[in-house]
Amino acid sequence: MAATNTEPVLPLAGRVAIVTGASRGIGRAIALHLASLGASVVLCYASNSAQADLLASEINSSYSSSPRAVAVRADVSDPADVKSLFDRAESAFAGAAAPHILVACAGVLDPKYPSIANTAVEDWDAAFSVNARGAFLCCREAAQRLARGGGGRIVTVSSSLVGVLQPGYGAYTASKAAVEAMTRVLAKELRGTGVTANCVAPGPTATDLFFAGKSEEDLRRMAQANPMGRLGKPEDVAALVGFLCTDAGGWVNGQVVRVNGGFV
């Protein structure tokens, strides 16, 4: 039998993924990984258009002669912006009328690490506005649109700090705990739609958001405290998200997966 040169079909070929917080850190790594699996990616960013546009250009030049990535600015705490984000995802790529994947990765962390007693109300509200409200608005939109499209994947991003309850992270931890609970409820509510909902909870990961306000000694100590002897890499988290978004991850639903090298 003559050999064929047919290229294997990538596991996410023909699917559209929305990744919030995609311009840097874990979100950026997730967007790149989903693109490598064949997905077309809507890169949602809040303010850093230069980084988002650069990432879109990188994906488009690497994987296809036709557009495979588009950068879209949206405030995930604004319902109108979130609706516009999903509208854009439905029209961004030829032949793909509806988004198939949401990765709600946008998040904020107060670099001052105040105790709860010293947390300003506006800082508490800011954490919940992006981390919890933003995830809720994106999940609400995705739950409606993915179900109408016949199925898909929702992945939210929490933090392994929910399992540690570290002083100085009160607002951040509380907002991420809300995301975990919401995701578990959502998975049950999506019964029969073909949509799964899971949450990934990274441990200490080498990103600008994590580095802010920490000394080199702080980072060294955290790396040594991990059983793997290092901080996590954004790519470690992206690999798990990629699996959950493929058909191979279709039997995982309603779970919070702590990806932290054994930190928790």
Q: Among residues of the chain, what percentage have pLDDT more than 90?
A: 87
In the block, which residue shows the tokens 């578990």? 184
In a domain, 170, yes or no: yes
* Phi, psi (degrees; rounded to nearest 5) at 198: -135, 165
Q: How many domains does the chain have?
A: 1
**Beta-bridge partner residues of 257:** 200
Q: State which H helix or E strand residue 64 sits in.
A: none
Active site residue 172: yes
**pLDDT at residue 209 greater than cutoff 90:** no
Kindly state whether residue 224 falls inside one of the protein's structural domains.
yes
Q: pLDDT tens digit string along 98-128?
A: 799 999 999 999 999 999 999 999 999 999 9
Residue with tokens 């588009």: 70
Look at residue 1 and tell me if it is in a domain: no
Residue 93: how many CB atoms within 10 A of its CB?
21
Q: At 36, which CATH number?
A: 3.40.50.720
User: Does residue 255 sit within a domain?
Assistant: yes
Average pLDDT over residues 228-240: 97
Place of tokens 């604004």: 78
Question: Which is the catalytic residue, given 45, 63, 169, 172?
Answer: 172
- Say what the pTM is: 0.94
Q: Which domain holds residue 169?
A: 16-259
| Structural domain includes residue 2 | no
The span from the CA of 109 to the CA of 172, in Å, is 6
pLDDT over threshold 50, residue 89 = yes
Q: Could you give the CA distance from residue 181 to residue 176 in angstroms, rounded to a whole number?
A: 9
The pLDDT score that the predictor gives to residue 212 is 87
Is residue 149, in this structure, part of any structural domain at all?
Answer: yes
Give the model confidence (pLDDT) of 126-184 as tens digits.
999 999 999 999 999 999 999 998 899 999 999 999 999 999 999 999 999 999 999 99
| Cβ atoms of 142 and 102 closer than 8 Å | yes
Q: Is residue 3 part of a domain?
A: no
Task: Determine the average pLDDT of the residues in 31-46.
Answer: 97
pLDDT over 70 (residue 6): no
Is 9 part of a structural domain of the chain?
no
Q: Is 179 helix (H, G, I), strand (E, B) or coil?
A: helix
